[in-house]
Chains A and B, each alone.
Chain A
Amino acid sequence: QSALTQPASVSGSPGQSITISCTGTSSDVGGYKYVSWYQQHPGKAPKLMISEVSNRPSGVSNRFSGSKSGNTASLTISGLQAEDEADYYCSSYTSSSTLVFGGGTKLTVL
């Protein structure tokens, strides 16, 4: 199972909005609603930000939102803040009953 495709890096200024894409196939992202997004700060464990494409767990800021179109899922962060600077990973359930992560995207807040 190949990793989902994410941009290696994205950047934005405080207050701006950014979107991170996550591209897979019809056997993973495009075929199921089980797409999640994680935030990971250096040296820390990942944190669930979005599950089931667009569901935000309790306690996660509403500045974070998720969507999906075809084989590509997206994470949008609005009103960018300094503490949003981190690595972001998408994941998807697959037709092989496994889970696959994206390669990760480093978000820099300028």
Chain B
Amino acid sequence: EVQLVESGGGLVQPGGSLRLSCAASGFTFRSYWMHWVRQAPGKGLVWVSRINSDGSSTGYADSVKGRFTISRDNAKNTLYLQMNSLRAEDTAVYYCARDQTVNYGMDVWGQGTTVTVSS
């Protein structure tokens, strides 16, 4: 079964850091681009970041550029999102998602992990 499972969310104080992980299974992880998408409570989807299949190219939304870093370990079939200098507005459910065929269509999603930034 094709599956993505996120972990690493939790409560963190403003200015703090958190690293999210996304474990992939059921498909050849190293062949796919991957994305992070977030959704604040009661709000819409917001794209956060993407990484190409070998990790050599990344992209970020302006709202997280310079604070978040996407990476991957193809040997471990795992995607990461390092989040630094966290703000209250980063509070959201964070989803990892697989890019269908480098067409920015995300065909496999995880269940999401919740990040709450609050003092």
Q: Decide if B47 touches A93 in the complex (CB within 8 Å).
A: no
Residues of chain A contacted by B60 (CB below 8 angstroms)? 98
Task: Sample 9 A-B pairs with CB under 8 A, ordered by A number.
Answer: A34-B103, A46-B37, A47-B109, A51-B107, A57-B107, A87-B44, A89-B45, A101-B44, A104-B45
Closest B residue, CB atoms, query A100:
B47
Residues of chain B contacted by A1 (CB below 8 angstroms)? 61-62
Asked if A84 is at the interface (CB within 8 A of a chain B CB), the reply is: no
Q: Decide if B47 touches A48 in the complex (CB within 8 Å).
A: no
Interface of B is mostly: strand
Chain B contributes a number of interface residues (CB within 8 A of A) equal to 23
Q: Decide if B103 touches A51 in the complex (CB within 8 Å).
A: yes
Interface contacts (Cβ under 8 Å), in number, total 68
A46 → chain B closest CB, angstroms: 6
Q: How large is the interface on A (under 10, 10 to 19, 20 to 34, 35 or more residues)?
A: 20 to 34
B68 → chain A closest CB, angstroms: 13
Residues of chain B contacted by A104 (CB below 8 angstroms)? 44-45
Closest A residue, CB atoms, query B61:
A98
Spell out B's residues near A (CB within 8 Å).
35, 37, 44-47, 50, 59-62, 95, 97, 100, 103-107, 109-112
Q: Decide if A3 touches B104 in the complex (CB within 8 Å).
A: no
A87 → chain B closest CB, angstroms: 8
Report the bound CA distance from A100 to B62 in whole Å: 11
Report the bound CA distance from A45 to B92 in whole Å: 13
Extra A-B contacts (9), CB below 8 Å, given A48-B107, A51-B100: A36-B105, A38-B106, A46-B37, A46-B45, A46-B95, A89-B45, A91-B104, A98-B60, A103-B44
